[in-house]
Structure 1
Amino acid sequence: MSAPREEPIALYIDADACPVKEEAYKVAFRHHIRVLVVANAPLMVPRHPLVERVIVPAGPDAADDFIAARVSRGDVVVTADVPLASRCVAAGAAVIAPDGRPFTANSIGMQLATRNLMEDLRSAGAITGGPKPFSPRARSEFLSALDLAIVRLKRAGFRPAPPPEAG
């Protein structure tokens, strides 16, 4: 395994429909991790030196492309988008769904196949309706999964962001 990179750990949030942004901020602040909140429309983010709001042009994959082009080993990505998760896993990032499910090199192939099958079934009219409502349990599992991912990166030698300059 190669040595950790020089840049500190970054947390990328695919933010347009992310139900756990507030939870992600709490975990990131506790671990002193830089957060990039990526969306294609303006949204509210905390005024905090560790948080950067990134507004990308409108387009179906603009936020995904921004994240995938920048993420690398030692970063964490929060997304429900399976194709984006696949790209980020390939880049070496830790990737977590908003319900706490990890996307890994071992699971991403099956997750992509399942997503594609469900998309085909929906377009054929065999399945209607959307995902089940987001539960408090999913929120709790996300908090645990994100905390664990960051702790593992720190144990592997990746570092948090430096403290902000006093001034």
Structure 2
Amino acid sequence: MSELIVKVFVDADSCPVKKEIVSICQKFNQSAVFVSSIAHEMNVPDGFTHVSVDSDKEAADMYILNQSKRGDCCVTQDHALASILLPKGVDVLSPRGYVYREENIMQMLDARYLSQKERRKGGKTKGPRAFTEEDRSLFCHQFTRILSKKAGK
């Protein structure tokens, strides 16, 4: 499978749209690198890469951070990883189809910090809502849009 000039990195441990990533990448003749902890078994189709990293909390993030470059794309739900990749010029998309932007990432990080602070004090915070088919559909639309733009279509 020949690749676009860019790479697609997937923070794969808890990614609910792996099949969709493979399908959309295949439409664009694009491969992807699925990065996960050694604790997670994973099979990927021919033409795709699976990288196992140690089970350190940030190991997958560090791999993606060190391997990505301007123009690449990353699928992650990790706001902190997104905040580091955006200044590098990496397009970052959540599995729910949310396109991270430098204009709003600080607000997202602040909200995450306040929730963590509340939990440390023993308070309860709302967890993420359940993943829906609408989320999956939005992801497919946004990921297709990003790869179309990179392919010049």
Give the structure-1-normalised TM-score: 0.83
Give the length in aligned residue pairs: 149
Residue ranges of structure 2 left out of the alignment (5+ in a row): none
The answer to whether the aligner puts 1:27 opposite 2:17 as a matched pair is no
Report the Cα offset of residue 129 of structure 1. 5.4
Greater helix fraction, Structure 1 or Structure 2:
2
Report matched runs for 1:4-83 at 5 Å: 8-41=5-38, 42-49=40-47, 51-83=48-80
Query: What is the rounded CA distance, in whole Å, between the counterparts of 1:13 and 1:76 in structure 2?
Result: 9
Q: Percent identity?
A: 28
Which has the bigger relative contact order, CA under 8 A and spacing at least 6?
A: 1
Conserved? CA contact 1:78–1:97, under 8 Å: yes
Conserved? CA contact 1:9–1:34, under 8 Å: no
Report the Cα offset of residue 123 of structure 1. 2.3
The residue that corresponds to 2:94 in the other structure is 97
Give the structure-2-normalised TM-score: 0.90
Report the Cα offset of residue 74 of structure 1. 1.5
The SS at the match of 1:54 is strand
* Cα distance per residue 1:21-46 (max 9 Å; x no partner): 11111111111112000001242233
Query: What is the rounded CA distance, in whole Å, between the counterparts of 1:123 and 1:137 in structure 2?
Result: 33
Query: Runs of 4+ in structure 1 displaced over 3 angstroms?
Result: none
Q: CA RMSD in A?
A: 1.6
Residue ranges of structure 1 left out of the alignment (5+ in a row): 1-6, 157-167
The residue that corresponds to 2:127 in the other structure is 130
